[in-house]
Amino acid sequence: MSLAASQPNQSPMLTSLLPPPTVPVVSKLSSASASPKTAKPTRLAALSTSTSATALALAPAPAATSDDAPPGGGGEGAGAGRLSALIRSLCAAGRTAEAARALSAAAARGGAGVVAYNAMVSGYCRAGQLASARRLAASVPVPPNAYTYFPVVRALCARGRIADALSVLDEMRRRGCAPIPPMYHVILEAACSRGGGGGFRSAVRVLQDLHGRGCALDVGNCNLVLNAVCDQGGSVDEALRLLRDLPTSFGCDPDVDLMEEMVRVGCPPNVVTFNTLIGYLCRNGLFERVHQVLAQMVDHGCTPDIRMYATVLDGVCKEGHLEVAHEILDRMPSYGLKPNVVCYNTVLKGLCSAERWEQAEELLAEMFDNDCPLDDVTFNILVDFFCQNGLVYRVIELLEQMLEHGCVPDVITYTTVINGFCKEGLIDEAVMLLKSMAACGCRPNTISYTIVLKGLCSAERWVDAEDLMSQMIEQGCSPNPVTFNTVINFLCKKGLVEQAIELLKQMLLNGCSPDLISYSTVIDGLGKAGKTDEALELLNVMVNKGMSPNTIIYSSIASALSKEGRINRVIQMFDNIQDVTIRSDAVLYNAVISSLCKRGGTDRAIEFLAYMVSSGCMPNESTYTILIRGLASEGFVKEAQEMLTELCSKGALRKHFMKHFGIV
């Protein structure tokens, strides 16, 4: 790997370590009218025909908007175990296509069992190839088990596709395979986490759906939804209603949860119950209710404990009521409780977050006066505060004081200080502290190294960055994708794309598979460097590894090709995109239109607009504003004004754009 020297005349080599690209055969467009003409027409002709026939006849633009459990089943010998291990290894390296071929070859010999198929399904899910995972799970030629489908259920839920996850349970039963309780938990958890603050209502419906499917729900499933009702702003009536319905509607007997109802059914609340309720009240800022609950505790024979006060203090501090928090600390001894280091740390963190340093110092003095020893958390709070405020030199004194108090700085402490040094531009000090960590009995982790690498790259110290990454590997600290992507990003920003490609190779040598960000960054760098053919080659490498490019990657390549005037090649690429969502994304087409307008090709941009519409993608406001600015910049001010006026009259642009462009 060489990050120091740039060799502009040497094209990137992607043959030794990366899989050879397979360029798909692209069919020619069947309709000439759907693509820009190869011969460039006169600009005025393009304006007089395309503008009226395409841009102004379009519909108004839409308004802008802001690891698997171990597989079950037996009957597979050592050979099958090696097969599943091979499949897992290939999938972990992003080589799902090779893993699938290995599975097919073994199946042809009769040597593939359910464990191997489960490994392949899981591999597809981890690679984001959910459609392939579902097809394989539905068609495995051996009797499936629950772990054949569990990765699919989990992947669907991670994407918010709750209905599809529920349908998988039906498919399992059709194949004689019973779902397992962890599946219900994953589905309910996904339903509870839906955005908008009302996910609990969706979760209740899912709970009903699961019960209707004959799923044996347990108290943990039901409490998950009950907690969501409380955490997401549901009313007490909704929670009580659900609690009452658990036995009859869901076949689940409740445990300790809501007080009045619990007492009524003979299940009295305990300290855990009150802790849960107080936590809910604090998270929602209902501090006036906390005093009522504390009073109710006595009525139910419960005594507030130190944990409860720590919960109250945490909630009060997060809401910014630091005076109230300090008052609670002062009153605790009158209740027979001495504040511990957790209570003090909670308030100290709140004071530091509010940058109320004088009061924080007073609280530290109070801790000493009350014989409350400082712990590692105390010092880490102070270290973070100093580093966030640029007081890195005071941190060195603090590290020495930690040792005096019998506290040993841990990796979090050192990493926080290193980050503080780098933020202040003290890269040499950060490097020195990183190297001294081991001597202090604290081994740097990947995050520590990555922060320093980022600092070195920011200072354009490529040789030092290269040396540090080599030292990192020698010390047995494996770089992760974030580490490599950090350096790759800086290299590409500086136009050092060949070194970035070398780093992609180093990732593979170190057992770290390039991810979507890795490829996206390098492809964008190649495009901006005018190396579009290399960018297309790397795109094919990425696709052959089973990864799906996103809109950002396609936009980068399309923009680069447009700058070179290779519009037909852009259209070929667009026609080969299989993902309907990407094909209909206006951002992708706008990248081409913008690139054409910037190089004085507004006539070609207007023609490309016709292709955009014929491909089923409607322009948005950005599309039109790019074209209008392009026309104006080329001197066609009158045509730009006419287009703007007509688009506003048709509702495709908002009226304020007329004033924005200086048209009254």
Q: pLDDT tens across 610-644, in order?
A: 898 888 888 888 898 899 888 888 888 888 888 88
Yes or no: domain 374-477 corresponds to CATH 1.20.1260.10: no
Which residues lie below 8 Å from residue 238, measured CB to CB, with a gap of 6+?
200, 229
Report residue 262's pLDDT band, with 50, 70 and 90 as the boundaries.
Answer: low
Note the pLDDT of residue 235.
54
Q: Is the pLDDT of residue 26 over 50?
A: no
Per-residue pLDDT, averaged over 28-44, amounts to 37
pLDDT tens for each residue of 392-416 = 878 888 888 887 888 888 899 899 9
Per-residue pLDDT, averaged over 573-598, amounts to 88
Per-residue pLDDT, averaged over 213-218, amounts to 78
Q: Is the pLDDT of residue 164 over 80?
A: yes
Per-domain residue ranges for the chain?
269-370, 374-477
Q: What share of the chain is helix, strand, coil (3-state, %, to 5)?
A: 65, 0, 35
Task: Give the 3-state secondary structure of residue 442.
Answer: coil
Q: Is the separation of the CB atoms in 484 and 473 below 8 Å?
A: no
Q: Which residue has the higher pLDDT, 247 or 345?
A: 345
Per-residue pLDDT, averaged over 50-57, amounts to 38
Q: Is the pLDDT of residue 324 over 60?
A: yes
How far apart are the C-alpha atoms of 91 and 284, rounded to whole Å? 44
Per-residue pLDDT, averaged over 379-393, amounts to 87
Q: Which residue has the higher pLDDT, 174 or 72?
A: 174
Q: Report CA dihedral (11, 12, 14, 16) to the nearest 10 degrees.
A: 90
Yes or no: domain 269-370 corresponds to CATH 3.10.450.50: no
Per-residue pLDDT, averaged over 530-546, amounts to 90
Per-residue pLDDT, averaged over 304-333, amounts to 85
Note the pLDDT of residue 70.
36
Q: Which of 442, 448, 519, 524 is nearest to 483 (CA)?
A: 448
Note the pLDDT of residue 436.
86
Q: Report CA dihedral (96, 98, 104, 105) to the nearest 10 degrees.
A: -160
Per-residue pLDDT, averaged over 189-217, amounts to 75
Q: Which residue has the higher pLDDT, 94 or 652?
A: 94
pLDDT tens for each residue of 147-163 = 999 999 999 999 989 89
Q: Is the pLDDT of residue 48 over 80?
A: no
| Mean pLDDT, rounded, of the chain | 78
516-528 and 497-509 are packed helices; what angle lies between their axes, rounded to 10 degrees? 160
How far apart are the C-alpha atoms of 313 and 656, rounded to whole Å? 50
- 269-370 and 374-477, same CATH topology: yes
Minimum mean pLDDT range among 240-244, 441-445, 452-456, 505-509: 240-244
Q: Is the separation of the CB atoms in 308 and 274 below 8 Å?
A: yes
Report residue 27's pLDDT band, with 50, 70 and 90 as the boundaries.
Answer: very low
How far apart are the C-alpha atoms of 395 and 379, rounded to whole Å? 10
Whose structure tokens read 């980022």? 454
Q: Is the pLDDT of residue 244 over 80?
A: no
Supply the DSSP symbol for 652: S
Note the pLDDT of residue 59.
38
Q: Which residue has the higher pLDDT, 208 or 568?
A: 568
Note the pLDDT of residue 409.
85
Note the pLDDT of residue 96.
93
Note the pLDDT of residue 38.
39
Report residue 67's pLDDT band, with 50, 70 and 90 as the boundaries.
Answer: very low
Q: Is the pLDDT of residue 343 over 60?
A: yes
Q: Which residue has the higher pLDDT, 255 or 560?
A: 560
Q: Which residue has the higher pLDDT, 37 or 362?
A: 362
Per-residue pLDDT, averaged over 295-302, amounts to 75
Report residue 263's pLDDT band, with 50, 70 and 90 as the boundaries.
Answer: low
Note the pLDDT of residue 484.
92
Minimum mean pLDDT range among 14-23, 334-343, 453-462, 550-559: 14-23
What's the pTM?
A: 0.55
pLDDT tens for each residue of 460-472 = 898 898 889 888 8
Q: Which residue has the higher pLDDT, 400 or 291?
A: 400
Q: Is the pLDDT of residue 579 over 80?
A: yes
Amino acid identity, residue 304? P
Q: Which of 274, 631, 635 is nearest to 644 (CA)?
A: 631
Note the pLDDT of residue 258.
53
Q: What is the largest CA-CA distance in the chain?
A: 90
Report residue 578's pLDDT band, with 50, 70 and 90 as the boundaries.
Answer: confident
Q: Which residue has the higher pLDDT, 520 or 654?
A: 520
Report residue 75's pLDDT band, with 50, 70 and 90 as the boundaries.
Answer: very low
Q: What single string gives the DSSP state of each residue in 350-407? A: HHHHTT-HHHHHHHHHHHHHTT----HHHHHHHHHHHHHTT-HHHHHHHHHHHHHTTP
